[in-house]
Amino acid sequence: MPRPASRSLPRRLLHSGRPRRHGWRRLIPTWRFGLFSTVTVLLLGAGFFALGVALVKVPDAHAAATAQRNTWLYRDGTVLAQTGQTNRQSVSLDQISTEAQHAILAAEDRDFYREGAVNPAALLRAGWNTATGKGAQGGSTITQQYVKNAYLTQQRTVSRKVKEIFIAIKVDATLSKEEILASYLNTTYYGRGAYGIQAAAQAYFGVDASQLNAAQGAYLATLLNAPSAYDVSSATEAGKRAATGRWNYVLDGMVQEGWLPAADRAAITFPQVRAPQPALGLSGQAGYLVDAAKEYLLTHQLVDEAALARGGYRITLSLDPARQADLQTAVQRQLTDKLDAAKRPGDGDIQAGAVSVDPKTGGVLAMYGGTDYTQHFINNATRRDYQAGSTFKPIALAAALESGAKTQDGRTITPDTVYDGANRRPVRGGTAKPPYAPPNEGEAEYGQITLRQATDWSVNTAFAQLAQDTGLEKVKQSAIALGLPADTNELNAVPSLPLGVSMPSVLDMAGVYATLDNDGRQQSPWLVQSLQLDGTDVPLPPRQSSRAVSEQTARQVTDMLQGVVADQGGTGWRAKELGRPAAGKTGTTDGNRSAWFVGYTPEVVTSVAMFGEQAGTGKQVTLSGTAGGGRVNGGGYPAQIWTDYMKAALKGTPVGQFTDPGPTVLDDAASTASVAPSTPSPTPAKPNTPRPSTPGSASPGASAGSQPPSASPTPEPPSQTPPSTPSSRPEEPSTPVPPVTPPSSPSRPSRPPVSPDPTRPTTNPPTTSASPSGGGSTPPVPTDA
């Protein structure tokens, strides 16, 4: 009997009426299943979205809209200053120029008026670019940015982003576009402590927001990306270029959107940005101290600028209020009280900076930044635009002694190694053509002298040869190891390096000398002792110290620098009035544009400098003529300020003693002179006549470090009391310098006597333009003593 017809059909068609799928085809969903899945996902997404919008509430504006003050304190808890009140003045949209509104939109959200609260395409584009390594980009609309500023935190989390989207949708539904834009412009941070476009217009241009033109508006829009980095008044060259590029991008966007005619765009030039203006309540020294502490916080990334501007911080500094007052009094008594710009216009160009540091901890004890922060915004204690002069020479000494350097004739260099101090003596061993040949102060001839004497008298030719013998790169690396920033201006391995052509700050030099005072252990000076936010401690970075030079080297250099103060003829002789062991070095630079004295006792290091800065223009000018006098040297006003301050700062402190370096251990027996070196009086060259030689002097071609003659020392000049106020030549006075001995000065029998010539000239000698070793140009030579 035949089977039913249905049974004769293939098995694959019995149940569905169509062939079954086999293999990989079975994994592909049918179109019905795909459609069902898509609809389900869309419905679920819509439901989730609707639920999120319903559940998320618009919170009250958080503390960012009502910022607190910051409190700055001395180390004993005394309040130094209070800052951080939000600099904001809210304005309506009709009080903001149309040009500025369009500039902000061109920078941040060109589709603002055509889109909703969220731009999905922009979010997807930003996410794709970030995921594919094309750079992290924001996809937020202005509505979202306003929500983040006013209601949320700056955290970059998924949950925060989701809340931002839902709140933005609600805000967009309740506020008009104009209200949202005005709120955004009033809450955004523009740098310089300015929240809101009205405060920013005042901070950068001194005008109201209603008066902003297209160029100014585009610059404020540029600042939204990086307020500090794009502030052209203080930005690096790279920052200025980036700011200019962003500014052009904004203006071009305004043209593309039809908000700015192309012809007008072509005529626009970069706007003139005003210098930062000090905050109220920061007059006198307070502003300088807060400014330096703020820089410390930002540099160490303890806070960012926007967070600091919002406030709520309690910052305790390392500053001692008593020593801070002592330092200010010393500068006033020894310098500023003697200036009278009304009678002598040049007195208005005189600036001074000073820093005092604890050598054991690195804590800054006192800082003097200028006469008044509200009158001179630049901090003279931290600026890095003036040469250090001969205060750099101890670095060359440390480099030579630490590295076991040898003279050109192969003798190990020690404090008593003899060098030729002939004026304009060509440096031997370098590659410069013609050889580098710096002048001595006043074109003076010194003949054969030890390094001790060269340090006492600050003999340029001896130190130029010393650095060449040591290796210029070694001298540079020693400077960095001792505490100078590696990016210090003009810190280059050139023949003039040991003479002080680099441009460290007064604070930097205090740190270098603190390393020597601390037996060769380097610890960068620090200013912030503790930091709290809303009563909670913020961890500070650990204070690191490192071995820069050996104890022996540091003690040998300190021993030599004591001679600058204590030895007859030492350029820092005024500091001897301190009445306790002290070491230091003077410095005066080319053109007499700066003068320095950096010195220390076992307890405290203090760095003092004067700068010639033309009032109004900021141009570097001479210090000569200060207070009606002549040339200003480091041994004059700076040394007197140092001495006055140190007397007060160390009052009641037991007299400490420097550790004796002990005998010098040499690898070769011929490293020191076998006979006593000659001690000729430095003799200046006379114009239009052959250069005279001093007893025992050598020709310029003589070998550095050659053995001295056996001539007897020149008799010392008669004793005479030094003047109590700076003369026209404070370091090399026009009268003989007496051997003033303080009560507690230790005896130093190993140091040869020095007899300075009382007729040393007071004019500034010419400088050379010799190329440095290895090519390139050499900065003007600091020709100080």
> What does each C-alpha distance from 183 to 42, 93, 115 come to in angstroms?
34, 9, 18
Comparing 8 with 417, the larger pLDDT belongs to 417
Residue 316: pLDDT band with limits 50, 70, 90: very high
3-state secondary structure of 71: strand
Could you tell me if residue 253 is inside a domain? yes
Nearest to 551 by CA among 358, 398, 397: 398
Q: Is the pLDDT of residue 53 over 60?
A: no
Domain boundary among 234, 267, 300: 267
Cα–Cα distance measured from residue 11 to residue 224, given in angstroms and rounded to the nearest whole number: 72
pLDDT value of residue 82: 84
One-letter amino acid of 514:
A
pLDDT value of residue 729: 31
Residue 578 and residue 443 share a domain = yes
pLDDT value of residue 480: 98
Q: What is the dihedral of CA 459, 463, 464, 469, to 10 degrees?
A: 150
Residue 167: pLDDT band with limits 50, 70, 90: confident
Nearest to 230 by CA among 371, 107, 53, 338: 107
pLDDT value of residue 773: 34
pLDDT above 90 covers what percent of the chain?
58
Best mean pLDDT range from 102-116, 644-658, 716-730, 745-759: 644-658
Residues with Cβ within 8 Å of 552's Cβ and at least 6 positions away in sequence, in order, are 401, 661, 662
Cα–Cα distance measured from residue 763 to residue 443, given in angstroms and rounded to the nearest whole number: 9
CA atoms within 13 A on the CB side of 747: 1
Comparing 635 with 33, the larger pLDDT belongs to 635
CATH of the domain at 227: 1.10.3810.10
3-state secondary structure of 291: helix
pLDDT value of residue 29: 62
Cα–Cα distance measured from residue 609 to residue 592, given in angstroms and rounded to the nearest whole number: 12
Could you tell me if residue 62 is inside a domain? no
Could you tell me if residue 2 is inside a domain? yes
Residue 632 and residue 739 share a domain = yes
pLDDT value of residue 456: 97
Residue 719 and residue 581 share a domain = yes
Residue 443: pLDDT band with limits 50, 70, 90: very high
Q: pTM for this structure?
A: 0.65
Whether residue 461 contacts residue 436, with contact meaning beta carbons closer than 8 Å, is answered with: no
pLDDT value of residue 214: 98
CATH of the domain at 747: 3.40.710.10
Q: How would you classify residue 52: left for phi > 0, otherwise alpha for psi between -120 and 50, otherwise beta?
A: alpha
Residue 40 and residue 97 share a domain = no
Burial class (CB in 10 A: 0-12, 13-18, 19+), 693: middle
Residue 165 and residue 106 share a domain = yes
Strands 70-73 and 313-317: parallel
Q: Summarize the confidence of residues 543-549 as an average pLDDT.
A: 94
Can you name the residues that pair with 195 across neighbouring β-strands? 189
First to last CA, the chain: 132
Could you tell me if residue 712 is inside a domain? yes
Q: Is the pLDDT of residue 10 over 60?
A: no
Can you name the residues that pair with 546 across neighbouring β-strands? 522
Q: How many domains is the chain partitioned into structurally?
A: 3
DSSP annotation string for 212-276: --HHHHHHHHHHTT-TTTT-TTT--HHHHHHHHHHHHHHHHHHHHTTSS-HHHHHH-----PPPP
CA angle 749, 755, 756 (to 5 degrees): 135
Residue 351: pLDDT band with limits 50, 70, 90: very high
Q: Is the pLDDT of residue 685 over 50?
A: no
Residue 718 and residue 645 share a domain = yes
> What does each C-alpha distance from 476 to 8, 485, 512, 562 come to in angstroms?
100, 11, 13, 24
Q: Is the pLDDT of residue 735 over 70?
A: no
- Summarised one tens digit per residue, pLDDT across range 378-435 is 999 999 999 999 999 999 999 999 999 999 999 999 999 999 999 999 999 998 889 9
**Is the bond leading into 434 cis (omega within 30 degrees of zero)?**
yes
Nearest to 449 by CA among 424, 416, 495, 427: 416
pLDDT value of residue 401: 98
Q: Summarize the confidence of residues 487-492 as an average pLDDT.
A: 96
Comparing 131 with 205, the larger pLDDT belongs to 205
- The tokens describing 746, both together, are 């230790």
Q: Is the pLDDT of residue 164 over 60?
A: yes
CA angle 718, 720, 722 (to 5 degrees): 145
Q: Is the pLDDT of residue 346 over 80?
A: yes
pLDDT above 70 covers what percent of the chain?
71
Q: Summarize the confidence of residues 365-390 as an average pLDDT.
A: 96
> What does each C-alpha distance from 550 to 87, 401, 485, 637 come to in angstroms?
51, 10, 20, 33
pLDDT value of residue 366: 99
Cα–Cα distance measured from residue 290 to residue 177, given in angstroms and rounded to the nearest whole number: 40
Domain boundary among 233, 252, 267: 267
pLDDT value of residue 660: 94
Residue 112 and residue 46 share a domain = no
Whether residue 431 contacts residue 540, with contact meaning beta carbons closer than 8 Å, is answered with: no
Q: Is the pLDDT of residue 673 over 70?
A: no
Residue 63: pLDDT band with limits 50, 70, 90: low
Cα–Cα distance measured from residue 150 to residue 96, given in angstroms and rounded to the nearest whole number: 20
Question: Looking at residue 620, what DSSP letter applies?
Answer: B
- Summarised one tens digit per residue, pLDDT across range 172-231 is 878 899 998 998 998 899 999 888 999 899 999 999 999 999 999 999 999 998 998 999
Dihedral sign for Cα 222, 227, 233, 237, please.
Answer: negative
Residue 144: pLDDT band with limits 50, 70, 90: confident
Could you tell me if residue 304 is inside a domain? no
Residue 123: pLDDT band with limits 50, 70, 90: low
Could you tell me if residue 73 is inside a domain? no
- Summarised one tens digit per residue, pLDDT across range 565-611 is 999 889 999 999 999 999 999 999 989 999 999 999 999 999 999 99
pLDDT value of residue 745: 35
Mean pLDDT, the chain, rounded, equals: 80
> What does each C-alpha distance from 319 to 72, 293, 348, 530, 540 come to in angstroms?
11, 10, 29, 12, 17
Residue 688 and residue 634 share a domain = yes
Residues with Cβ within 8 Å of 326's Cβ and at least 6 positions away in sequence, in order, are 366, 645, 648, 649
Strands 313-317 and 528-533: antiparallel
Cα–Cα distance measured from residue 720 to residue 60, given in angstroms and rounded to the nearest whole number: 78
Q: Summarize the confidence of residues 684-691 as an average pLDDT.
A: 35
pLDDT value of residue 747: 37
Nearest to 58 by CA among 190, 172, 157, 142: 172
Residue 470 and residue 410 share a domain = yes
Comparing 316 with 42, the larger pLDDT belongs to 316
Residues with Cβ within 8 Å of 495's Cβ and at least 6 positions away in sequence, in order, are 427, 430, 432, 436, 438, 464, 467, 468, 472, 770, 772, 773, 778
Cα–Cα distance measured from residue 682 to residue 759, given in angstroms and rounded to the nearest whole number: 9
Q: Say how many residues make up the chain.
A: 785
Residue 131: pLDDT band with limits 50, 70, 90: low
Can you name the residues that pair with 598 across neighbouring β-strands? 585, 607
Cα–Cα distance measured from residue 182 to residue 295, given in angstroms and rounded to the nearest whole number: 32
Q: Is the pLDDT of residue 30 over 60?
A: yes
Could you tell me if residue 288 is inside a domain? no
Q: Which residue range forms the structural domain that includes residue 19?
A: 1-55
Comparing 527 with 766, the larger pLDDT belongs to 527
**Lowest-pLDDT choice from 23-37, 424-438, 602-616:** 23-37
Could you tell me if residue 65 is inside a domain? no
Residue 453 and residue 588 share a domain = yes
Residue 33: pLDDT band with limits 50, 70, 90: low
pLDDT value of residue 730: 33
Domain boundary among 267, 286, 305: 267
Can you name the residues that pair with 683 across neighbouring β-strands? 445
Dihedral sign for Cα 120, 124, 127, 133, please.
Answer: negative
Whether residue 424 contacts residue 661, with contact meaning beta carbons closer than 8 Å, is answered with: no
Residue 523 and residue 467 share a domain = yes
Residue 393 and residue 258 share a domain = no
- Summarised one tens digit per residue, pLDDT across range 11-20 is 544 455 556 6
